[in-house]
Amino acid sequence: MPPDRPGTRSSRKRPVSCHFCRSRKLRCSRRFPCPNCTSRGIACQLYASQPAEPQPETTTRDTGADSLDVLARLRRLEDIVLGKDNDSAETVSERTPAQSQSPGREQHATEDARWLEVECSIQGLSSTIAPDGVVFKTRAISQIQSATSILARDSSDIVSSEEATKCFWIPLYEESKCLVEKYLKELTYLLHVIHVPSVRATMERLHEALHMGMQPNPAHIALLLSIIASTLYSWTARDPSILLSLTAEEVKSRTLVFLKAALDLLEYSSRASDTSLEEVQARIITSSVVCNLEGVSSRYRSLILTAITGARELRLHRLDQNNGSDVENRASDTVEAEIGRRVWWYLVTTDWVLSHYEGPLKGTYTVHPRQMLVKKPRNIDDIDLLPGKDIVERPIDYPTDVSYTLQRTRLGEICRELTDNTPLFSSEPLNYESVLANDKKTDDYISGFPAFFRLNGGSLEDLTKINPNITPGIIVQRYILNSLTHAHKCRLHLPYFARGSVNPKYAHSREVCLQAARTVIRSERLFEKESISFLPNRFRMAGSVHCLCMAIIVFVLDVCLYKDGGQEEERKREAADACSILQTAKNDSSIAGRLLQSFMRVIKKHKVSITGISNTGEGEGPSFNPEQPAVLDAAGSGISESDPNLGCEIDCFAEQGLLSPQSSYWSGISETFHSGMDSIDWNALFFELDAQSLEPGSLF
């Protein structure tokens, strides 16, 4: 195309080179920040795009400045004529004398020093220690028995050879599409760190590359494998089996196959290339499956921390840092930037929530709010977040794909504030006033829920009248959010639950715990009445079982500890009702079955009879039949008062993440009960509620 004529109106609006490139006579990409400034670690600054204001003539002029101005203008004209400058479209009239002057020696020296520091500190990946290459091939999912295979180079035959390539097997296009669509429609709202249109496009390009025999991006394959593993984990008999043709056991085994494949490929990707946004997304989705299978294990924590590191490599923690230029402001309005905000805030929230629970990360978090500059994700549907389309944020009371993410983020901030006020290395317990202050913030947070997230927030049909694009996921999010928030209130006050029986100062904690536990059960009962495809899967999620068990702990402690607290039969019915939900959950969760037996052993140990619960044997666990009530007590339970399994330390339960008792809490309780109250075997109580896998699920 012919160059624009100098002096035309359109040429004045074209982008120009940055200050540094023009001063050093470097070729500028005119995409800001440009590579020259980025590699040197300096700010990429633009010149003013408007013509300089005409200067009034004066009788006295600075001949030195005039000389520099004339020379600069002549040099500029020479560059335009000879075609040496990329900025030929900029006219001489657009430059001012101040812009024509080159930076001084001090500025050059400072910029060079900063560039050298960057060069010394940041190095690229060395190809000499890169892992061996991998290949990707498609195969029917019914034929994929293992995560990977070994292929001879340049051959499709599976052989054992010293010179071989690791092959990752991908389901056929139709199968992959079926699994991805189920995830996008029924599961992504649980951790919305993706952009639905972008994922669909990525999966299409990925399979197109596989069909043409080209090597796709390993990070894209890792994202696909993580989505497949998550989908298979939640697969039920209601889902179409035409494409899979697998039994329930075969689907379960394939879940582990693709989970291992995702973990292996993420390990390869981290060693083979720089981090990408898709790799971070894949780590988040994979971590959620790991958490549901084994709780907040070391593997889960490693995935989250590695994802945070990868996000920092992508500079997501400074996504909205700019120098005030229009170009940088426009860059922050892209689809990629908005997805980056979702990813970053999911990781930050998870980091802060984990600081609230027992384990290696207790009392600490990785991301400090003063060390990040990222705006909250905008309240907008994915369908309205498209390239070239203006981003119009919806009000907070308008239901969108990001509404739950924003509420979850606020809950994470409340957890971080609690961690900041909790002494890390002190033996003193958390100040009770701090507990009450955090409880007040939680209540304010709950009262600020948008109407559609309240338990009486209306049906899905009502919400579609507000937003026709809303999905049933908004209903799932409603019940999850209420359960999580009130389970947080239980955890906050549970260490003071027993103290309230002897010290009126802490009586408020018992009332808060009971009210919060009742809300958790109410939320579950309302959820059961919804006709949503996610309903059969809710107890496969670690977060659901965790919230339910927090409520049961409160009810069990209440009937064991407050035997003379009034309304005894009603409180026992509450405990029985909560346990009946756990009885249902054990069909989908092996964790639930084991915990149910633990709760029953505690109840029998303390000679508490609860109408509506019967015991069919230790091995099978308790069964519940409201139409045929029975009485449960210690007689004939087969549990000896001297059972050696009941003598473990109280810390056994605390380490599992369901309680956060300081040693002084429970020593005070022990002294209280030894001074006249009926003795409660706290060691037995907390040992029996062994909840190794019940740590808080990051999925929610």
Q: Which of 559, 588, 614 is the last residue of a domain?
A: 614
> pLDDT band at 675, cuts 50/70/90?
very low
Q: Is residue 273 part of a domain?
A: no
Residue 591 has pLDDT above 90, yes or no: no
Q: Is residue 459 part of a domain?
A: yes
Residue 646 has pLDDT above 90, yes or no: no
Residue 683 has pLDDT above 80, yes or no: no
Q: What is the pLDDT of residues 8-52, one digit of tens each?
A: 444 444 456 787 787 777 778 777 778 777 666 677 777 544 444
User: With left for phi above 0 and alpha for psi between -120 and 50, is residue 192 left, alpha or beta?
Assistant: beta
Q: What is the pLDDT of residues 446-497, one digit of tens each?
A: 999 999 999 999 899 999 999 999 999 999 999 999 999 999 999 999 888 8
Q: Which of 583, 614, 645 is the last residue of a domain?
A: 614
Q: What is the pLDDT of residues 359-414, one digit of tens each?
A: 888 889 999 999 999 999 999 999 999 988 888 899 999 999 999 999 999 999 99
Which pLDDT does position 652 carry in this prediction? 33
Mean pLDDT in residue range 676-680: 35
> pLDDT band at 181, cuts 50/70/90?
very high
Mean pLDDT in residue range 596-609: 76
Q: Is residue 530 part of a domain?
A: yes
> pLDDT band at 118, cuts 50/70/90?
confident
Which pLDDT does position 60 carry in this prediction? 42
Distance CA(369)–CA(352), nearest Å, equals 10
Residue with the bigger pLDDT between 222 and 619: it is: 222
Find the length of the chain.
Answer: 700
CA dihedral 201→203→209→214, nearest 10 degrees, is 120
Q: Which two tokens stand for residue 423?
A: 């002494």
**317 touches 344 (CB < 8 A):** yes
Name 605's Cβ contacts closer than 8 Å, sequence gap at least 6: 634, 639, 646, 681, 684, 685, 688
Distance CA(576)–CA(593), nearest Å, equals 15
Single-letter amino acid, residue 221: I
Q: Give the C-alpha distances (Å, rounded to integers) separating 310 from 40, 275, 313, 603.
A: 22, 6, 5, 47
Q: What is the pLDDT of residues 298-316, one digit of tens each?
A: 999 999 999 999 999 999 9
Distance CA(40)–CA(110), nearest Å, equals 11
Which pLDDT does position 151 carry in this prediction? 67
Q: What is the pLDDT of residues 51-62, one digit of tens each?
A: 444 444 444 444
Name 433's Cβ contacts closer than 8 Å, sequence gap at least 6: none
261-270, 432-441, 485-494, 606-615: the lowest-pLDDT one: 606-615
Residue 110 has pLDDT above 90, yes or no: no
Q: Which of 549, 581, 614 is the last residue of a domain?
A: 614
Q: What is the pLDDT of residues 64-85, one digit of tens each?
A: 455 566 666 666 666 665 554 4
What is the DSSP secondary structure assignment for residue 183, as one 8-state letter? Answer: H
Q: What is the pLDDT of residues 335-370, one digit of tens each?
A: 999 999 999 999 999 999 999 877 888 889 999 999
CA angle 654, 655, 660 (to 5 degrees): 40
| Number of structural domains found in the chain | 2
Percent of the residues in the chain that have a pLDDT greater than 70, as a whole number? 69
Q: Is residue 213 part of a domain?
A: no
Q: What is the pLDDT of residues 516-556, one digit of tens each?
A: 999 999 999 999 998 888 888 888 888 888 899 899 989 98
> pLDDT band at 193, cuts 50/70/90?
very high
**Beta-bridge partner residues of 300:** none
Q: Is residue 90 part of a domain?
A: no
Q: Which two tokens stand for residue 685?
A: 């109580």
Single-letter amino acid, residue 31: R
Which pLDDT does position 251 carry in this prediction? 87
Percent of the residues in the chain that have a pLDDT greater than 90, as a whole number? 38
Name 671's Cβ contacts closer than 8 Å, sequence gap at least 6: none
CA angle 34, 40, 42 (to 5 degrees): 75
Residues of the domain holding 606: 446-614
Q: Is residue 547 part of a domain?
A: yes
Mean pLDDT across the chain: 76
Return the CATH number at 32. 4.10.240
Which pLDDT does position 427 carry in this prediction? 62
Distance CA(616)–CA(356), nearest Å, equals 38
Q: Is residue 279 part of a domain?
A: no
Residue 621 has pLDDT above 60, yes or no: no
Which pLDDT does position 583 carry in this prediction? 85
Q: Is residue 649 part of a domain?
A: no
Which pLDDT does position 221 carry in this prediction? 95
Mean pLDDT in residue range 228-233: 94
Sheet (strand 148-152) strand order: 134-139, 164-171, 148-152
Mean pLDDT in residue range 148-159: 60
The neighbour count for residue 496, using CB atoms within 10 Å, is 24
Residue with the bigger pLDDT between 238 and 164: it is: 238
Which pLDDT does position 282 carry in this prediction? 97
Nearest to 544 by CA among 524, 530, 528, 529: 524
